[in-house]
A and B are shown apart, each in its own frame.
Chain A
Amino acid sequence: MKKVNRIKRIRKDWLLYVMLLPGMLYFAIFHIVPIINMKLAFQDYRIIGENVWVGWKHFEQLFSSPAFKDVLMNTVIISSMKIIFIFPIPILFSLLVNELRFGPFRKYVQSVSYLPHFLSWVVIAGIWITLLDPVDGGANVIRNFFQLPSLDYMTSKEHIRWVLVYSEMWRSAGWDSILYLAAILKISPSLYEAARIDGASTLHQMRYITLPSLMSTVVTLFILNLGFFMSAGFDQVFNLMNDSVLSVIDILDTYVYRIGILNGQYSYATAASLFKGAIGLILILGTHFLSKRLTGKGVW
């Protein structure tokens, strides 16, 4: 009875399925198929004929490779640095912008700070390479002003990871504050009025009203960020990389690109990708369920 009903409904709604078809075809062909094809990690790639199953061979090779260990370490270090030093900045930024009265200055601050988000990493790399130029770059102009010797940031193993942190901050601090600002705007003004009558200062209001109201947004965005933990910002690293600093900023994705796309070791590179994807999935599902248990809120 129920089944017949279903078939009837499907028949009646045929037009809906036709309308849905192009989108579903797209997801099937360009998302699902390449995900299923990641079984290549357990196979040897053959140009002619069927691929051969080889079990965990490529993973064993991967985990015994010192190069992979370095790459993994770099990924973890760079991502951790970004989470620690960049994640709080948009929150802080939104708190500060929130204190500005609606008017030209606020508009100016927002318009300027969102702009870098729309530039490609190629453009940003160009701008930062100029800014960090060892001879006449802006960063060294400032250093020289304080009587410090010039530095070649882009080729310095000590500094390049900080270049990644600061350039990412430059690009996204403003834009990433939008969701927080939106959450702040939803806070009832009566809370602030009551606080003001009780004599709370601007800082107190930030600390005891605004910040607590932001917590659920913070948790959501933190979980989403963790989902990208193993990515560490491929486009950024890819464009700011050079031979002198390769060893300290080579991350999983740049490694996959080099051994896979450039050297043609497709199976081995796919194994590295699959490892990355699996960890990312564990991180995002793990934090999602943890947060659901602790705060009753997850990402979806």
Chain B
Amino acid sequence: MKQFSMTKAIIQFILFLFTLAVLIPLLNILALSLSEPSRVDELSGLGVIPKGFSLINFEIIMSNPFIVRSIVNSVFITIVGTCLNLFLTAITAYVLARTEFVGKRLVLVVLIAVMVFEPSMITEYLLMKDLHLLNSYAAVILYKAINVYYLFILMRFFQEVPNSILEAAKIDGAGHFRIFTTIVLPLSKPALATLALFYGVYHWNEYFRATIYLTDPNKWPFQVVLRQFVVTQDNTTLLKGVEGMTPELLASLDFGSLQSATIVVAVIPMLLLYPLILKYFTKGTMDGGVKE
């Protein structure tokens, strides 16, 4: 029996080490962003406790109109995009999951084809150009208006709505649209919440299409701006336009800490939603994921 518990202890230890490997880099970024700029050099690369405490990095970021605008843009894209996603995915999923009609097989074949073959980013880009959608949010929002995987997940949920309820409604004379809006949708609230989170995360994290479709930097979402600071290491935009920026203040700042603070701002919405995500996502993926 002793051998037995030993194995368990080793397993727990390995998993604990793994969580540290995930957490320490994240907490280190947080510690960097909250440290006093003058003491940030004392912070070790594995340190998770800020050296001193200062919100100066966040104040600088939040007083940059360019960054604030990009955050507003991101929120706008995320909210409008997610609403459109939900509407289109739900109505399509209902028809495909709960009804029989001529041509259904063809539609399903097309959906599978869409899953295994992606269009080229070049022809997608040229399409947006032909439709005159370049430099408009419509391009960023529309190009992924329905995610086929999520569509299939929602279809599974809709199929679980008990048939007897739908039959009863039909006998009462309710048409498909009534059944969809007054019965299927309210019964699928948890599933819709799951999808809203799926799609919301997707929109908040999107940067690539925005980079190539949105030519006006004032329209950029936050992730594109973050990429400029953190990946391209372009610090002029970061400090440009910050009110009350003096040479002394500039000299007292630490660029690495500013970058970290920007990363933290990008992660905060995710952390706020994370408990919900854990509650819904894991269930959603488990129930509707890949067929076995």
Q: Which residue numbers of A lie inside 8 Å of B, CB to CB?
A: 6, 9-10, 13, 15-17, 19-20, 22-24, 26-27, 29-35, 37-38, 40, 93, 96-97, 99-100, 105, 108-116, 118-120, 122-123, 125-131, 133, 136-142, 170, 173-174, 178-179, 181-183, 201-203, 216-217, 220-221, 224, 227, 234-235, 238-239, 253, 256-257, 260-261, 266, 269-270, 273-274, 277, 280-281, 284-285, 299-300
Contact call A179/B121, Cβ cutoff below 8 A: no
* Chain B positions 49 through 66: 1 when the CB is less than 8 Å from some CB of chain A, otherwise 0: 000000000000000000
What residues on B are CB-neighbors of A123 within 8 Å?
205, 223, 226, 263, 266-267
Specify which chain B residues have a CB less than 8 angstroms from the CB of A29 in the assembled complex. Answer: 127
Within the complex, the shortest CB–CB distance from B6 to chain A, in Å, comes to 9
* Those 8 A-B pairs whose CB atoms lie nearest each other, nearest first: A273-B120, A23-B92, A120-B205, A34-B119, A138-B45, A126-B230, A34-B123, A182-B286
Check: B251 CB closer than 8 A to any chain A CB. no
Structural contact, A227 and B116, CB atoms closer than 8 A: yes
Can you list 27 residue pairs at the A/B interface with Cβ under 8 Å? A19-B180, A20-B91, A22-B88, A24-B107, A30-B127, A34-B124, A40-B122, A96-B15, A99-B7, A110-B278, A113-B18, A122-B205, A122-B266, A125-B231, A126-B29, A130-B256, A131-B25, A138-B45, A140-B45, A173-B18, A179-B285, A201-B4, A202-B4, A217-B292, A220-B291, A253-B121, A261-B212
**5 further contact pairs, Cβ within 8 A, besides A118-B274, A173-B18:** A19-B180, A20-B107, A26-B145, A137-B45, A174-B18
Report how far A255 CA is from B226 CA in the complex, Å. 23
| Closest beta carbon of chain B to A178's beta carbon, Å | 5
Query: Is B24's beta carbon under 8 Å from chain A?
Result: yes
CA distance A299 to B149 in the complex (A): 13
Q: How far in angstroms is the closest Cβ of chain A from B176?
A: 5
Contacts of B44 in A (CB 8 A): 136, 138, 141
Q: Are A16 and B127 in contact (CB under 8 A)?
A: no
Interface residues of B (CB under 8 A from A): 3-4, 7-8, 11-12, 14-16, 18-19, 21-26, 28-29, 32, 41, 43-46, 87-89, 91-92, 94-96, 99, 101-102, 107, 110-112, 114, 116-127, 142-143, 145-146, 175-177, 180, 201, 204-208, 212, 223, 226-227, 230-231, 256, 259-260, 262-263, 266-267, 270, 274, 277-278, 281-282, 285-286, 289-292
* CB contact between A96 and one of B11, B95, B146, B282 (< 8 Å): that residue: B11
Considering the complex, give the chain A residue whose CB is closest to the CB of B142. Answer: A30
Question: Which of B87, B177, B274 interacts with A115 by CB under 8 Å?
Answer: B274
The reply to whether A38 and B145 contact each other, CB–CB distance below 8 Å, is no
**By the criterion CB–CB under 8 Å, are A19 and B176 in contact?**
yes
In the assembled complex, the Cα of A298 lies from the Cα of B119 at a distance in Å of 24
B176 cross-chain contacts in A, Cβ below 8 A: 15-16, 19
Q: Find out whether the CB atom of A6 lies under 8 angstroms from the CB atom of B102.
A: yes
Is A35's CB under 8 angstroms from B28's CB?
no
Give the dominant DSSP class at A's interface: helix
Q: Which residue of A lies closest to B259 (CB)?
A: A126
- If A13-B101, A131-B28 touch, whether A122 touches B227 (CB-CB below 8 Å) is yes
Closest Cβ of chain B: how far from A194's Cβ, in Å? 17
- Evaluate contact between A202 and B107: CB separation under 8 angstroms: no
Cross-interface CB contact of A118 among B14, B95, B201, B231, cutoff 8 Å: B201
Instruction: Give the chain A neighbours of B15 by CB distance below 8 A.
Output: 96-97, 100, 109
Question: Does the CB pair A220–B290 fall under 8 Å?
Answer: yes
- Roughly how many angstroms separate A139 CA and B21 CA in the complex, as a whole number? 11
On chain B, the residues within 8 Å of A269 by CB distance are: 120, 122
Q: Which residues of A contact B206 (CB under 8 A)?
A: 120
Report how far A13 CA is from B21 CA in the complex, Å.
56
Give the nearest-CB partner of B266 in chain A: A123
A119-B267 CB under 8 A given contacts A30-B143, A35-B119: yes
A293 to chain B, nearest CB (A): 18
